[in-house]
Structure formats: C-alpha cells, structure tokens
Amino acid sequence: MMEKFQGQGDVADRSPTAGKLPLIAGLVSMLLSAGLANARVSEEEAARLGADLAPFGAEVAGNEEGTIPPWSGKWKGLPPGLEYDGPAGKRPSPYADDQLLFSITPENYTQHKDHLSEGQIALFERYPTFRMDVYPTHRDFDYHDRTVEKTRWNATHTELSNGVESLANYTGGLAFPIPADAYEVMWNTRTTPCYASSTGKVDNYAVYANGERAHTAADFLVSWPFNNPDNPIPTTEEIVGDRQVYALSTSLAPPRVKGRLTAVQDPMDYVAKKRNAWMYDPGSRRVRKAPSIGYDNPYGPGGLQTSDDTKGFNGGFDRYDFTLLGKKEIYIPYHNYIFNDPAFGDLDDRLTKNHLNPDYVRFELHRVWVVEANLAKGKRHVYTMRRWYIDEDSWNTALTESYDSRDNLWRVGLFLSDYHYDVSCYMMQTQAMHDLPSGHYASSIITLNRKESDLTIPFLSQENFTPAYLRKAARR
C-alpha cells in the first residue's frame, strides 16, 4: 500500500485493485483533454528557480531529519582532485571514501518500509540474496549553463500539445521545471539529456533463474535535435521540426544479427506522427522499412521488458490515465560509478542470479515524484497498472513497478545513474528489469567491458539517420 505522499494528503488506497482514480486526477485529465490546462508558470513563480528551487526545480532545502541534505550545486563538471581521462573514460567517484550507513536485507527490511517502494519490498520478499547498501545522500552537482537557460525559458513558455502527447513552445532542456501534473512530470523524464549527440557501445543481457544468459550488443549513435548547440534560445519546434531523437545502431551480437543497421527517428508526438525506422540486413544487403515497434512489444534479450519500458517509459501516453501521487522519500540507486568500472571486478561479479550483485549498487535517500498509470478504458497493454519513482534533482526514473492483468506485481525496474562530468548532467546508465514470477531479469546499457559513451561529439543532423545513410554506411 502506498503511504502518505508529500503535498497530496492521505492516499487511502493506491493498490492496483483500487479501481478508480481520485476525483482531482479525473478533473485534471478532463482539463487536459479539453486543452484548458496551462503548463506555463508566471514570471514570479519561475523566479523561484535558483532561489528556493534548484535550476531544475528540485527543492533546495533538505529534509527535517537531515538525512537528505540541502542542494548545494557546488560542483559543475569535474570536481576538484579527481583524475579523469575525459570523454569515453571511466568516471571516478567523488564519494569513494563514503562509509556505508547500513544495509537493508530480507531480515530487516520491515524496519525501513517507510522509505521503500512496493517493488523493492517485493524483491526482498522474493529473493533471499537481495540487499540494498545505503550510503550518505549527496546533492552537490549543478547543471550545464545552456541547459539551465533553456529550462528557465521553458518554464514560462512550454505547454502540452495534442492533449498530452506533444510539446509546444519548447526549446530543448527540461520542459517543466515546476510541473503541475503527472504528464508534465513524465515529459520531464524525456527531456533531461544535456548533450546534443553521442556515440558508444553497450551490452545487454537476459539473466535467467538458472544462471544462464542471453547476450546482445550494439554500437550506436544518438542525436537530440532540440539540443543542437547552433540553435539560439528560443528555437522551438517550428524550426527544429517534429522529431525528438534520432538513433542509429549497429548490431554486434549475437552472431546471427551482427552487422545489422537500424536507423530510427522518434517523434515528439508518438500518436500523431509514429516512429520512422529502417533496417539494413547484411544477408540480403537491402534496406527496408522496419516493423512498427512500441508499447508492449517484447524488447531486448529474453523479451523480459516491453518496448515502452526503455529508460522508464517512452512512446505514446494514450493507453493509460496518469495520476500524480506526489513526492516521497525513497532509497534509490544513485552515484553508481563503480558498476561499470572494471577496476572493481568483472562481468560475472555483476550479473548474479535473480538480480544485480548488491556489492556494486549504491543507494541513497532522495525525494522522488511518484506517478501512477492505470489502463484506460477500451485500451490494451500487458501492464494494467504502472508506477514510476522519479528523482527530483535529475528527473531520471529510478524505480518502476508494473502489474499484470490479475493485479499482481509482475516486473520491478531499477535504474542506475551518475553525473557525467563532460556535459554537467546526471544521466541514466545500466538498468535492471526483474521478472518476479520467473526469477529472470534483464540488464541493459552495460559498459563494463567497453569505453563509456562519448557525449561530446559534434551534433549529428537528420541526414545521418536515413535509409540513404544506411546504404552508405553498409558499403564501408
């Protein structure tokens, strides 16, 4: 059961069998569908950014207990005293000397339930080996100046469009630093990247309950057109266009798909525009339109997550009614620098049975926004109810919970993150999706045996993510 949420009063019944949304959520949904909700805030309220609110909208103040410190923003980029190889290098931890505060285990988790999510409790009850090592909470990092400027402009200009499916008057950066509802919070999880383009290689694994694994790997290019550094503020969708992100991937494993190229152009509005995708098959040496993939299509090795599980949530909003439950203090994965650092062990150390090795996952107490989505009337999805826990400082999804058609908790996601010194921004990295009935889990975006992604490459335009480019790349 959900407990009292900050700013939301008492939530009497937030179990998946609750059946009806609170009245206020229904009213908000009606206003949005009628186009009456105004996401923009006044100049007076926006002036709170950089005052009692951090530049991205988090509360500057810590909590009363002192277990969450005030946001300081004392560092921007690489902290003093750290040795770092630069782009694509492993990021050293500024908190390597922190002492463990305590560990939460299946034996003592009931003592910490006030700061645990339902999914975390389920992991403790499902797996005798699951553990959460809790360290001091840190809120020391500030954000890139240009991203802060964009976010400040968005606060008084950006609005939801086409109901809730798109954005209007958006210039890149965080869309809604002072959000009014669940949809604005969810849009913030999609508009956090502080870089224009990136390249890198990642490994993805399905880890089965018997310890066996399935492996995929890819080389990728990603570009965010709204973050093009040549665009002055404000440059909105009228100039940038209707595409939010471009991606090009080259399959490296398994052998049967090695060399396959896929180009994707994702829209701002997945309902109105759909996703463009093309694939080059090295066997036939042909480029063809890729099949439509989205919503609850099985995704990744083992099919242990849905397409719209990626990085918490992506795709259209149209299959659910979303409700903002408020804020809650939760132990979440944070400052996870060592997980992908080979100096601390190899892959077998990380991918233990049933869950990631707890020795390599750091947890801290943070305030998170909690959003719940219930399947809309007449809509279909394998998840009938979903919940997201979104860090207030970075707007990255930290935890997810997804329920099946019988209202049983089915999958629990943990999303690791750290601060990227090159672009002065917190970024999500490795994620783990736990399939509770089977005991399997999927772990993706692993860079342990790779260089880290380079987020400093020059901006890549749409021409690098087209069928013509696939043909050109295939000839190299």
Strand partners, 250: 219, 261
Distance in angstroms (rounded) separating the CA atoms of residues 271 and 242 = 12
Q: What proportions of the chain, in percent to the nearest 5, are helix, strand and coil?
A: 20, 30, 50
Domain ranges of the chain: 23-215+313-447
- Return the pLDDT at 394: 97
**What rounded mean pLDDT belongs to the chain?**
91
pLDDT at residue 26 greater than cutoff 70: no
Residue with tokens 């492996």: 215
Measuring CA to CA, how many Å separate 440 from each of 301, 303, 342, 435, 444?
Answer: 11, 11, 24, 5, 13
- Return the pLDDT at 38: 54
Taking only the tens place, the pLDDT of each residue in 93-122 is 999 999 999 999 999 999 999 999 999 999
Pairing between β-strand 276-281 and β-strand 261-267 as defined by DSSP bridges = antiparallel
Residue 82, classed as helix, strand or coil, is: coil
Taking only the tens place, the pLDDT of each residue in 155-204 is 999 999 999 999 999 999 999 999 999 999 999 999 988 999 999 999 99
Distance in angstroms (rounded) separating the CA atoms of residues 200 and 221 = 7
**Which of 437, 422, 471 shows the shortest CA–CA distance to 88?**
422
The letter for the amino acid at 179 is P
Q: What is the mean pLDDT of residues 300-318?
A: 94
Distance in angstroms (rounded) separating the CA atoms of residues 190 and 333 = 19
Q: What is the mean pLDDT of residues 275-304?
A: 92
pLDDT at residue 20 greater than cutoff 70: no
Percent of the chain surpassing pLDDT 90: 88
Percent of the chain surpassing pLDDT 70: 92
The token pair at 44 is 């007076």
- Identify whether the C-beta of residue 163 lies closer than 8 Å to the C-beta of residue 141: no
Distance in angstroms (rounded) separating the CA atoms of residues 371 and 50 = 25
- Return the pLDDT at 474: 85
The one-character DSSP state at 342 is: G
- Return the pLDDT at 192: 86
Chain Cα centroid distance, residue 18: 27
Residue 31: count other Cβ atoms within 10 Å of its Cβ.
Answer: 13
Distance in angstroms (rounded) separating the CA atoms of residues 411 and 433 = 7
- Return the pLDDT at 24: 34
Residue 437: count other Cβ atoms within 10 Å of its Cβ.
Answer: 11
Distance in angstroms (rounded) separating the CA atoms of residues 32 and 231 = 30
Distance in angstroms (rounded) separating the CA atoms of residues 45 and 41 = 6
Residue 4, classed as helix, strand or coil, is: coil
Residue 227, classed as helix, strand or coil, is: helix
428 CB-near residues (< 8 Å, 6+ apart): 311, 312, 396, 397, 415, 416, 417, 445
- Return the pLDDT at 443: 98
200 CB-near residues (< 8 Å, 6+ apart): 88, 219, 220, 447, 450, 451, 452, 453, 454
pLDDT at residue 405 greater than cutoff 70: yes
Distance in angstroms (rounded) separating the CA atoms of residues 63 and 61 = 7
The token pair at 376 is 């809309």
- The distance in angstroms from the start CA to the end CA of the chain is 56
- Return the pLDDT at 279: 96
- Return the pLDDT at 206: 98
472 CB-near residues (< 8 Å, 6+ apart): none
- Return the pLDDT at 307: 94
Residue 97: count other Cβ atoms within 10 Å of its Cβ.
Answer: 6
Residue 370, classed as helix, strand or coil, is: strand
pLDDT at residue 448 greater than cutoff 50: yes
DSSP assignments along 407-444, one per residue: S-EEEEEEEEEEEETTTTEEEEEEEEEEETTTTEEEEE
Distance in angstroms (rounded) separating the CA atoms of residues 10 and 128 = 32
pLDDT at residue 392 greater than cutoff 70: yes
- Return the pLDDT at 28: 38
For 167, phi then psi, to 5°, come to: -125, 145
Cα Rg of the chain, angstroms: 21
pLDDT band, residue 476 (cuts 50/70/90): low
Distance in angstroms (rounded) separating the CA atoms of residues 281 and 261 = 7
pLDDT at residue 154 greater than cutoff 80: yes
Pairing between β-strand 440-446 and β-strand 197-207 as defined by DSSP bridges = antiparallel
- Identify whether the C-beta of residue 383 lies closer than 8 Å to the C-beta of residue 402: yes
Taking only the tens place, the pLDDT of each residue in 29-69 is 433 333 334 568 999 999 999 999 999 999 999 999 999 99
The token pair at 93 is 């931890």
